[in-house]
Amino acid sequence: MAETRQETALTTLKMLTAGLLLVGPALLACAPAVPADPLTPPTPAEMQFLDQARRLLPITPDSMVAFNSDGELLDQGRQACFMRDQGRVGYEASMLPPIVTQLALVYLCPK
């Protein structure tokens, strides 16, 4: 009887370990990638974009965007330019904060 309990405990431990080994990497693979801060110095247009963003974002209704890093803001700005080139402008089309879209259209997107 004692061996049965030991075998059951060992089987349970093996199953849990196998489950963790299979599920753990799957959870990490699904995690979104976060853009890093830029390694090259920003261009003058990017500096203007970031300066205006840092000044305006804390007073916007979507205050969580104010905590984005420079890399995230530049990535969102470039995405706004790409979406505009595809003919999609506005929050519903790009799902980007309106203030980031407006600043990107003024400072980042080629004229």
Residue 38 falls inside a structural domain? no
Give yes or no for residue 31 having a pLDDT over 70.
no
Give yes or no for residue 40 having a pLDDT over 70.
yes
Residue 37 falls inside a structural domain? no
pLDDT at residue number 64 = 75
Which structural domain range is residue 21 located in? 1-31
Question: Do 99 and 69 fall within a single domain?
Answer: yes
35: confidence class by pLDDT, cuts 50, 70, 90? low
Residue 100 falls inside a structural domain? yes
* Spatial separation of the C-alpha atoms in residues 70 and 68, rounded to whole Å: 7
Question: Do 26 and 57 fall within a single domain?
Answer: no
Domain count within the chain: 2
pLDDT mean over 51-74: 85
* Its pTM surpasses 0.85: no
By CB atoms closer than 10 A (0-12, 13-18, 19+), residue 103 is buried
Average pLDDT taken over every residue of the chain? 83
pLDDT at residue number 11 = 86
Question: Do 54 and 97 fall within a single domain?
Answer: yes
Question: Do 62 and 87 fall within a single domain?
Answer: yes
pLDDT at residue number 16 = 81
Give yes or no for residue 104 having a pLDDT over 90.
yes
pLDDT at residue number 37 = 65
Question: Do 58 and 96 fall within a single domain?
Answer: yes
Give yes or no for residue 69 having a pLDDT over 70.
yes
